[in-house]
Chains A and B, each alone.
Chain A
Amino acid sequence: MIPGRMSVGALSHGTPTPRAAVSRGIEPPLALLAELTHRCPLRCPYCSNPLELSRASDELDTATWKRVLGEAAGLGVLQVHFSGGEPLVRRDLVDLVRHAAELDLYGNLITSGIGLDADRLAELVEAGLEHVQLSIQDSDAASGDHIAGFAGAQQAKRRTAHLVRLAGLPLTVNAVVHRQNLDRLGQIIDLAVALGADRLEVAHVQYYGWALRNRSALLPSRDQLDAATATVETARARLAGVMVIDYVLPDYYAHRPKACMGGWGRRFLNVSPAGKMLPCHAAETLPGLDFPRVAEAGLADIWYRSPAFERFRGTGWMPEPCRSCDRREIDWGGCRCQAFALTGDAARTDPACTLSPDHELLTEARGDAAQTVPDLVYRQHSAVPRRSSELISS
């Protein structure tokens, strides 16, 4: 699943920094994305996990995850997002949630909702879980199951939402939208309200990894997108104070790139199932970067001193047109993974920007998407033939 975009609002500006980091301008991270596993009952064709999925035997053990949580709290992390894959497949999930709560970390479960029953949820609540983010694939059950590649997914999700509300936990529904469900955005919003969501995140597919393989099948048309944006604006007005709707325009139709992860190595850190520490969940696809393993180095050491976290931090690495752009500290050059996926060079300006010399690549992709809708390629563990442009260097 695609983990939610985490919004970092401020009542006013100015993030304080600890004295140790002030001299080098590096702030402590705000949140840890703990990808406990790549195992998942769903097979969504836009999964944000890498094409090379980790197996259960590669996963960090409980003791190591507890150490990671402890070091994260010490480093200044405030929120931990338990994610995957499907984090519920980890038998030590309750243990890890409890450990995080004891460290004053704000615990969030990012889940498909498959495999959560009332007893397990009660254990998670008792352990100190604060919030659940539940993915839905569509408002229509048949289409939802088709996109998830799992019969009965939609029904299981409805049940999970009900259990979460009964347990008194706040609920965010995360709806990943694309060509095949965007026309039903109005119904998706209604479903989220009916499920009792406090917040709905309408997340356009981001095209790298599995989603890039399926881009022609998933990229919406301009007309679809305009209609969806109008739907969101109307619903926001109607639902003010009832349900918050987070929605941002997708890169392929935007003029300026997103500040991906709030900037490389600025706010978020990700620990992969096998224990690599990354600036974002997709960064492992980038070649030439040696992401340290948490088994070999402390989190603070990696955050403040590793070459991989330094590589695209700040503005020093930027090429033109970013380097002299007055938005360089607003969007931080956009997404490195998207730049690499589209141009083969992670250090180029994100092609989502109309100022990028590569912006035409997006224009072409939009044209391709308008013509053909191929079958979906579902995520799977076994090796599959790939086009050379998608090969991962490891």
Chain B
Amino acid sequence: MTEQPRLSVEGGAVLRFAPHVKFRFDEVRRAWIVLAPERLLLPDEQAVEILRLIDGERDVDAVIDELVRRYEAPREVIAGDVVAMLQDLVDKKVLRR
């Protein structure tokens, strides 16, 4: 096994959930959850909205465009939040290219 270089989240990157990561709705808590190896993430509403746009087809720019359209907020504000969150999840191996 060789070390993989760290992936930087850029506008053109198309992200998907890593194998063995489950993003699903939990009926007991009535909430979306992310299950990963020995990690459990309980995303808030905003994070859920971003994660539901991660479909293995849209690139990061398209995710940001969609959120800009929904919130009518300045693009750079949304882009900053989205890229920071996605980079964190890539580093945690929850998402990958």
Which residue numbers of A lie inside 8 Å of B, CB to CB? Answer: 4, 6-18, 28, 30-31, 74-76, 78-79, 104, 106, 108, 130-131, 133, 165, 168-170, 172, 193-196, 198-199, 201, 239-242, 244
Q: Do A11 and B47 touch (CB < 8 A)?
A: yes
B17 vs chain A, min Cβ distance (A): 12
Report Cα–Cα, A382/B48, bound state, in Å: 52
Report Cα–Cα, A367/B95, bound state, in Å: 46
Q: For residue B4, which residue of chain A has the nearest CB?
A: A242
Taking A11-B41, A130-B37, A241-B90 as known contacts, 18 extra A-B pairs with beta carbons closer than 8 A to each other, sorted by chain A number, are A8-B42, A9-B92, A10-B43, A12-B43, A13-B44, A28-B28, A30-B40, A75-B28, A78-B35, A108-B37, A130-B22, A131-B37, A172-B38, A193-B3, A194-B1, A198-B37, A199-B93, A242-B4
Q: Mark B14-25, 1 if CB is under 8 A from A, else 0.
A: 000011101010
Q: Do A16 and B40 touch (CB < 8 A)?
A: no
Shortest Cβ-Cβ A-B pairs, 4 listed: A241-B6, A12-B44, A196-B1, A76-B28
- With a cutoff of 8 Å between Cβ atoms, the chain B residues found around residue A199 in the complex are 37-38, 93
**Given A12-B47, A28-B28, A78-B26, are A7 and B1 neighbors across the interface (CB < 8 Å)?**
no
- With a cutoff of 8 Å between Cβ atoms, the chain A residues found around residue B39 in the complex are 7-9
Which residue numbers of B lie inside 8 Å of A, CB to CB? Answer: 1, 3-7, 18-20, 22, 24, 26, 28-31, 33, 35, 37-44, 46-47, 85, 90-93
The B interface is mostly helix, strand or loop, or mixed, namely: loop
The A interface is mostly helix, strand or loop, or mixed, namely: loop
- With a cutoff of 8 Å between Cβ atoms, the chain A residues found around residue B42 in the complex are 8, 10-11, 14-16
A83 vs chain B, min Cβ distance (A): 12
B87 vs chain A, min Cβ distance (A): 9
B4 vs chain A, min Cβ distance (A): 6
Contact among A11, A76, A172 for B85, CB-based, below 8 A = A11
Q: For residue A75, which residue of chain B has the nearest CB?
A: B28
Report Cα–Cα, A194/B43, bound state, in Å: 33
Report Cα–Cα, A366/B31, bound state, in Å: 46
A261 vs chain B, min Cβ distance (A): 14
Report Cα–Cα, A172/B38, bound state, in Å: 9
Report Cα–Cα, A28/B85, bound state, in Å: 27
Q: Do B92 and A244 touch (CB < 8 A)?
A: yes
Q: For residue A10, which residue of chain B has the nearest CB?
A: B42
Contact among B6, B44, B90 for A11, CB-based, below 8 A = B44
- With a cutoff of 8 Å between Cβ atoms, the chain A residues found around residue B38 in the complex are 4, 6-7, 79, 108, 131, 133, 172, 199, 201
- With a cutoff of 8 Å between Cβ atoms, the chain A residues found around residue B40 in the complex are 6, 8-9, 30-31, 78-79
Report Cα–Cα, A78/B36, bound state, in Å: 11
Q: For residue B42, which residue of chain A has the nearest CB?
A: A10
- With a cutoff of 8 Å between Cβ atoms, the chain B residues found around residue A10 in the complex are 41-44
Q: For residue B91, which residue of chain A has the nearest CB?
A: A241
- With a cutoff of 8 Å between Cβ atoms, the chain A residues found around residue B92 in the complex are 9, 244
- With a cutoff of 8 Å between Cβ atoms, the chain A residues found around residue B33 in the complex are 78
**Given A12-B47, A170-B37, are A131 and B20 neighbors across the interface (CB < 8 Å)?**
yes
Q: For residue A20, which residue of chain B has the nearest CB?
A: B28
- With a cutoff of 8 Å between Cβ atoms, the chain B residues found around residue A13 in the complex are 44
Report Cα–Cα, A196/B2, bound state, in Å: 8
Q: Do A76 and B29 touch (CB < 8 A)?
A: yes
A22 vs chain B, min Cβ distance (A): 11
A173 vs chain B, min Cβ distance (A): 12
A sample of 5 cross-chain residue pairs with beta-carbon separation below 8 angstroms, ordered by A number, consists of: A9-B39, A106-B22, A169-B20, A241-B4, A242-B5
- With a cutoff of 8 Å between Cβ atoms, the chain B residues found around residue A168 in the complex are 19
- With a cutoff of 8 Å between Cβ atoms, the chain B residues found around residue A193 in the complex are 1, 3
Q: Do B29 and A17 touch (CB < 8 A)?
A: yes
- With a cutoff of 8 Å between Cβ atoms, the chain A residues found around residue B22 in the complex are 106, 130
